[in-house]
Amino acid sequence: MNNHFARNSARHLSVVRQSRRAIMPVLVGAMLFLQSAGTGELAAQIAVRGKMVYTMAGEPIADGVVLVIDGKISAVGPASQVPVPDGYQILTAEVVTPGLIDAHATAGLSGIYNQAHDQDQLDKSGAIQPELRALDAVNIREELVGYLRGFGITTFHTGNSTGELVSGQTMIAKTIGSTIEDAMLVETAAIIATLGPRAVRTSGSPGTRSKQMAMLRQELIKARDYSEKLAGKAAAESTGGAESAESAGKPDDKSPPSRDLRMEALARVLNGEVPLMITANKAQDIATALRLAEEFKFRLWLDGASESYLMVEEIKEAGVPVFLHPTMTRSVGEYENMSFETASKLVAAGITVTMQSGFEGYVPKTRVVLFEAAVAAANGLTFNQALATITSDAARVLGIADRVGTLEVGKDADLALYDGDPFEYTSHCIGVIINGQIVAQEAR
């Protein structure tokens, strides 16, 4: 009985061992797939070949190869000089570009259904709310984010929308992740402000342009005082309390300020930590934004700027980048004088221009920057100039050029693959890679 049991046990163990050997490759493959689809901890080894590879760090490469390992680019060059190692997964395309960058979006806060339950981009309970964090509202799993990703958009600068005098904060993230923390590149990228008719309230303040500026200047002055008090407190603490209250600029006020989230946010603008991104379309509002930046010495990102072609010299002298309005915006109201040639006029003057999907309260609520760049390319920009507005130039303005925007060794392996000229209407995005992982292969 015991011998019979032993023989059966031995046979059973042999079968189990054989089964384990047979199933192990499947399990390892499944584990690799799941981790690549989730956290990306085990990165794939991928070779991307393109008939034309636009690195945006030099001349385009005909018959080029980009090698990817551990989520980073390990080699870029002509196929004759960059051999593909054994075991690499090979993807091919007519055109390969860096992953595209949407320089100003609300996707993740604004949802695909255009209904109240998925519209979190603008709180209208107050005219000035710089303390509202994009981090607390972005849904990285939102279907609209996936829709944009399918066109090759791998990074987006998103957050609270324009529409109030100061509506909140923005952040920069990749367009895929299990949580926003997984996707995040920059927690607070900018504070959003609006000048002009869009921020005028029908009841309450501000009701006019003059009131807008008075309120905004007053808040910045308060934030400067708050920052000076904190600096005085820090100086006193560093010397063991020896510093007098006069060091804070307030001889009669010896108590440090209570923590104020609104003042903290605006103080970061004044300290140069984050820019103030001001949406201003009319020439008079653009001039006001430039004047405000000069008065308070903060970094200005000019957003919208539909009449910026009338202010070329002033914008150039200020050294301010322009996040140009989507050309698909309806040309009414403050956009009535918009032009398809604005991008080419600004770039010709040496002004850095980036493209954005933007936001409006009517369908479609978001656009695709690939198409925005295509319109610019059809109206005065060269192919490379237009592509730069949604890759290298966008990365440089947003302060993330050390990771994305170009195809260079050591940078994040974010790539977009197309079956033709990406600016042609009949072309499709046929592959998207983010952090070295293939995240889309459906033609779009």
pLDDT tens across 354-401, in order?
Answer: 999 987 666 556 789 999 999 999 999 999 999 999 999 999 999 999
- Same domain, yes or no, for 129 and 79? no
Q: Please list the alpha-helical segments (H only) found in 67-207.
A: 143-149, 180-183
Look up residue 127 and give its two tokens: 């005219």
Q: Which of 334, 355, 302 is nearest to 190 (CA)?
A: 302
Domain contains 36: no
Provide the domain limits for residue 392: 100-210+257-404
- Same domain, yes or no, for 88 and 189? no
Domain contains 71: yes
**296 φ, ψ to 5°?**
-105, 0
pLDDT attached to residue 7: 46
- Same domain, yes or no, for 85 and 111? no
Question: How many domains, in total, are found in the chain?
Answer: 2
**130 φ, ψ to 5°?**
-70, -15
Domain contains 24: no
pLDDT attached to residue 1: 42
Look up the CATH number of the domain holding residue 418: 2.30.40.10
How many residues in the chain?
444
- Same domain, yes or no, for 188 and 282? yes
Return the ∠ at Cα 124 (arms to 368 and 332), rounded to 5°.
50
Show the low-confidence residues of the chain (pLDDT under 70). Answer: 1-43, 233-237, 239-254, 360-365
- Same domain, yes or no, for 285 and 343? yes
Look up the CATH number of the domain holding residue 396: 3.20.20.140
Domain contains 162: yes
Q: At what angle do helices 261-270 and 209-238 cross, to 10 degrees?
A: 90
- Same domain, yes or no, for 383 and 423? no
pLDDT attached to residue 153: 98
pLDDT attached to residue 383: 97
pLDDT tens across 291-334, in order?
Answer: 999 999 999 999 999 999 999 999 999 999 999 999 888 888 88
- Same domain, yes or no, for 362 and 423? no
pLDDT attached to residue 112: 78
- Same domain, yes or no, for 90 and 161? no
